[in-house]
Amino acid sequence: MNQKLKDAVTKIESITALKPTIAIILGSGLDGITDKMTHLAMISFTDIPHFIKPTTEGHQGAFYFGKLEGKSLLVMKGRYHYYEGYPLKDVTFPISVMAALGIKTLIISNACGAVNQKFNAGEMMIITDHLNLTGTNPLIGPNDQSIGPRFPDASEIYSKRLIEKSNIFAKKLKIRLNQGVYAWWSGPTYETPAEIRMIRTIGADAVGMSTVPEALVASHAGIEILGIACLTNMATGILPQKLTHEEVLVAAKKISIDFGKLVYQLILSI
């Protein structure tokens, strides 16, 4: 483990004795899960060595450790984005810390735009695969063989086992759950109508500005991943109105009820 990881892990372990193996990354507006947790310990990113403060509205920037129905859990409220100007090593550093802490299962959520015209704003989409449209990768640079291989396999970044569980629980809860491919767009500008047509043509069903770099680093470290995209809006050009971040946050709050129900059942089953 390199020194930065050691520093971060040592600080976290000095604050909480919990040793969770399950973690969740909450996207914009999806922050209700911690209300159900007990034995809470909150650690701000600014109190963890080598973490930086997120600059995006709706992203608190903290790790929450606690228990949910007896299961130890790490919840990450807020994340870094490539568009904030940080190197991808910094954007994904919390994921590397999760791996060093012993996380084995990671649920990654986001608020994003629906590209598939059969989907509706206000629904969720389980990520079955992704498209990296940014031209870069957080694993570029020296590789630590003790964490993962130099050339990691990418044939199943998103766990088929967890996708199947999600579909079963969604059916029981009577929640419409789409499945599809998520495209990572650098941002911070939303996509143009022409770009959305291109993204749809090459096979994406939703588009957003996060998730993929985190999934790549987690997969490289051997963590099992489930991706949940919360479709807060229809992508640019599908509907006549312009997009704003404020509308995304409002829509995410509405989705958060179904999201919370689904994640609750998933955590209990892991």
Q: Which residue of the set 111, 206, 229, 234 is catalytic?
A: 111
Q: Is 80 one of the annotated active-site residues of the chain?
A: no
Q: Is 28 one of the annotated active-site residues of the chain?
A: yes
Q: Which residue of the set 23, 28, 82, 96 is catalytic?
A: 28
Parallel, antiparallel or unpaired: strands 105-114 and 123-132: unpaired
Q: Is 50 one of the annotated active-site residues of the chain?
A: no
Q: Which residue of the set 72, 245, 247, 264 is catalytic?
A: 245
Q: Which residue of the set 81, 109, 170, 183 is catalytic?
A: 81
Q: Is 86 one of the annotated active-site residues of the chain?
A: no
Q: Which residue of the set 96, 116, 210, 219 is catalytic?
A: 210
Q: Is 59 one of the annotated active-site residues of the chain?
A: yes
User: Residues with Cβ < 8 Å from 98, sequence gap 6 or more?
Assistant: 23, 74, 76, 106, 218, 223
Tell me how far apart the alpha carbons of residues 259 and 153 are, in angstroms, rounded to a whole number: 29
CA 74 to mean position of chain CA atoms = 13
Q: Which residue of the set 96, 110, 159, 233 is catalytic?
A: 233
Q: Is 83 one of the annotated active-site residues of the chain?
A: yes
Q: Which residue of the set 59, 121, 218, 229 is catalytic?
A: 59
Q: Which residue of the set 23, 84, 158, 220 is catalytic?
A: 84
Q: Which residue of the set 1, 41, 42, 83 is catalytic?
A: 83
In contact, 211 and 138? CB cutoff 8 Å: no
Tell me how far apart the alpha carbons of residues 106 and 158 are, in angstroms, rounded to a whole number: 10
Place of tokens 């790790």: 63
Q: Is 81 one of the annotated active-site residues of the chain?
A: yes
Q: Is 220 one of the annotated active-site residues of the chain?
A: no
Q: Which residues are the active-site residues? A: 28, 59, 81, 83-84, 111, 209-210, 233, 245
